[in-house]
Amino acid sequence: MPRLAVIGHPVAHSRSPAMQNAALRALGLGEEWSYEAIDVAPEAFAELVRALPAEGFAGVNVTVPHKTAAFALADASSEGAQRIGAANTLVFEAGQVQAHNTDAGGLIASLPRSPRGARTLVLGAGGAARAAAWALRAEGAAVDIWNRTEARAQQIHLELGGPDQAREAVDIEVRDLRAVVEFDQSDYELIVNTTAVGLHGEDPFVELPLRRDGFGPGAVVVDMVYGEGPSTLLRAAAAAGATAVDGIEILVQQGALSLRIWTGLEPPLDVMRAAAHGI
């Protein structure tokens, strides 16, 4: 009876248990596998994770605020998790903890088309921004990072795109990731909001340097903030003719990638999407 879970703090609001249990049932695994939510404070996180394999867990998702700690305690990790410095998916196998980051692949999978060669803007400089910036560059996009606190955007630039990391790679990699203070919104084919703006009703067109009417034709706008219905940012983007991608779609796609890692099976995306929307 393999067990799975999402570990967070808090975690009661998470849609992952409903989504993953629906997926397990659709795959015919509902009688064997189960997916639960575990709330644990940061100081108890590592000890809890170490104890999970003995309790029948095959793996877990990890969410805020444990993603960095999850990466740090792993015995082995994927290249993405290493470069991002955070993990949202752990696999317990042969006495080892393996770390993956499916937030990165989940973002890419949620896009209507490949971002290869696109000019993209990432707003924010927390863990979600690092994952987005790494994922977009790995797909061959040029990435500009803007953050309210500029020094944090510079830090991502240094860590993901600075000369040390790019030394073995080609020079263009260094040019392709920039921290920006000012920008022309209409230059971007893709804009990804990873900031918390909108979470508590903030107006993105007040808090962020974006204009309602400033989206380029055919732009794609991703808002990782999700609540009930489309966010103010996504409503404005859609009204301006841009393609809107919401945080629930990213939740679905990252969850699907995690499920594939644990089970080796093709995730039922439609079932997961419906469950994540509470349908």
Q: Which of residues 38-77 bind ligand ATR (CB under 6 A)?
A: 64
The yes or no reply on residue 126 touching ligand ATR (CB under 6 A) is yes
Are the beta carbons of 243 and 220 closer than 8 angstroms? yes
CA-to-CA distance for 65 and 27, rounded, in angstroms?
30
The yes or no reply on residue 197 touching ligand ATR (CB under 6 A) is yes
* Residue among 119, 152, 212, 277 that touches ligand ATR (CB under 6 A): 152
* Residue among 196, 238, 240, 261 that touches ligand ATR (CB under 6 A): 196
The yes or no reply on residue 85 touching ligand ATR (CB under 6 A) is no
Are the beta carbons of 226 and 203 closer than 8 angstroms? no
The yes or no reply on residue 250 touching ligand ATR (CB under 6 A) is no
Measured from the CB of residue 154, what is the shortest distance to ligand ATR in angstroms? 11
Measured from the CB of residue 239, what is the shortest distance to ligand ATR in angstroms? 22
* Residue among 49, 87, 107, 125 that touches ligand ATR (CB under 6 A): 125
CA-to-CA distance for 67 and 59, rounded, in angstroms?
14
The yes or no reply on residue 129 touching ligand ATR (CB under 6 A) is yes
Overall residue count recorded for the chain in this entry: 279
The yes or no reply on residue 9 touching ligand ATR (CB under 6 A) is no
Q: Which of 15, 67, 83, 130 is catalytic?
A: 67
178: which 2 tokens? Answer: 């920039």
Nearest CA to 30 out of 38, 21, 39 is that of 21
The residues, any chain, with a CB within 8 Å of residue 158's CB and separated by 6 or more, are: none
The DSSP output letter for 167 is: T
The yes or no reply on residue 106 touching ligand ATR (CB under 6 A) is no
CA-to-CA distance for 255 and 253, rounded, in angstroms?
5
- Sign of the torsion formed by the C-alpha atoms of 243, 252, 232 and 179: negative
Give the strand pairing for 57-62 and 89-93. Answer: antiparallel
The yes or no reply on residue 110 touching ligand ATR (CB under 6 A) is no
The yes or no reply on residue 132 touching ligand ATR (CB under 6 A) is no
Residue 67 annotated among the catalytic residues of the structure: yes
Catalytic positions are 67
Which residues are at the interface with ligand ATR (CB under 6 A)?
Answer: 64, 124-129, 147-149, 152, 194-197, 202, 207-208
